[in-house]
Amino acid sequence: MRLRRGRRSLRDTMRAGLAAQRLYAAGVADDDPRRAANTERLDRLAASIAPKRNRVVRPVDGKPAQPLERDIQKACLMLLRVHPKVAAVWRQNSGTFTEQNQDGSMRYISAHTMPGLPDIMGFLKGGRMFAFEVKRPGNRATPLQQAFIDRANAAGALAAVVTDAAELPALLG
C-alpha cells in the first residue's frame, strides 16, 4: 500500500475491502448455500479492480509521455556524481522567488548569476570545466543558452545540450 499525499489510493482501498470480505467469507461453513454465491461475487469484485498503470500515455495521440526536464536533470546529476572522471558537479539554480518582509509586504529576489547559464555545471578531474543545458527531447536551447554553450566551448570547456542522461558518458569521453 502506497500513501499519496497522506491518503490511500482507490485501488488500495478496494483491495483492503476485498481482503476483509474474503476473511469474513472464510468463516462461513462449508455446507452453507451462500458460500458459492459469495465466492463468485468476491471474484467479480476482484476482477473489477483496475490494474496499476505503469506507463502514462498522452490522450491526444496515444504516444508515451516524454520525461520532464527535472527528471532528466536528476538522472544526469546522479550519473555525473558517480562518474570516475568528474571531480565536482552541481545544479546551477537561477530564477526569481518571493520573500515576505517583516511588515507583511512581499519582495522579489532575483537569483540570476548571468543570462543563459546552463542547468548543470562542474569540473572534470583534469581541471576542465563542463556545463550541460538539459532539455526535453525535441526541445532546443534558447539563444542566450546556446550563446553561453558556444562561448564555453570556445574557451576550452565542455558544454552541450543534453536530452538524456545516456548521452553523458559519450560527451565525457
Cβ-proximal residues to 3 (8 Å cutoff; 6+ apart), any chain? none
Contact (CB, 8 A) for 130 and 122: yes
Q: What is the CATH number of domain 69-172?
A: 3.40.1350.10
For the chain, what is the mean pLDDT?
Answer: 85
pLDDT of residue 73: 94
pLDDT over 70 for what percent of the chain?
88
pLDDT over 90 for what percent of the chain?
42
Cα separation, 106 vs 86, in Å, equals 40
For residue 64, what is the DSSP state? Answer: B
Taking residues 106-134, report their average pLDDT: 89
Of 4 and 120, the one with more pLDDT = 120
The model's pTM is: 0.59
pLDDT at 58 over 70: no
pLDDT of residue 109: 81
Cα separation, 66 vs 173, in Å, equals 27
pLDDT at 169 over 70: yes
Q: How confident is the model at residue 164 (pLDDT cuts 50, 70, 90)?
A: very high
Helix (H, G, I), strand (E, B) or coil at 31: coil
